[in-house]
Amino acid sequence: MVISAVGIFVAFAAIDLPRPWHFVVMALGMVLYAGVGIVCEHRASVRRKATRQEALFHGGLLACIMVAFGIGRIAAFALFDLPPQGLLSQAAAGAFVAAVAYVAATPVNRSIMKSIVQHGGGAL
């Protein structure tokens, strides 16, 4: 979970980097975030297909993470007057807020996923 949060932070903090590094660092962060999920699924003792509800939940989770990033970035500008570029920028502050929100919501996310799996939603 912490490695996923680091991946989220790296991906969102890369938004303000110059052109060639923007894509490279953002891709690295997203690969780190998605890679943890893939490794966990690969190590699972039970193989099952994803359901529609799981896909919708994960899409909604990513949307909530992006909203947290936007709120953090706007707050960094409005409250702390952080610059739009640099190491301590608005994107870095927003990325930190998104990563913390992801970690803080993990217990709720796990209970929702447990409920979806137990009820066995519709297949993709």
User: What pLDDT score does 123 carry?
Assistant: 55
Query: Contact 103/2 with Cβ under 8 angstroms?
Result: yes
Q: Does 16 have pLDDT greater than 60?
A: yes
User: What pLDDT score does 54 carry?
Assistant: 85
The three-state secondary structure class of 51 is strand
User: What pLDDT score does 92 carry?
Assistant: 87
User: What pLDDT score does 15 carry?
Assistant: 86
User: What pLDDT score does 99 carry?
Assistant: 94
> Token digits for 106?
């993990």
DSSP secondary structure code for residue 105 in this structure:
T
The verdict on pTM exceeding 0.85 is no
Mean pLDDT of the chain: 85
pLDDT, one tens digit per residue, over 32-90 is 988 888 787 777 777 777 788 888 998 999 999 999 999 999 998 888 887 777 667 88
Instruction: Give 64's Cβ-side CA count (13 Å radius).
Output: 15
Burial class (CB in 10 A: 0-12, 13-18, 19+), 119: exposed
Q: For residue 1, name the pLDDT band (cuts at 50, 70, 90).
A: confident
User: What pLDDT score does 72 carry?
Assistant: 92
User: What pLDDT score does 122 carry?
Assistant: 53
Chain length of the chain: 124
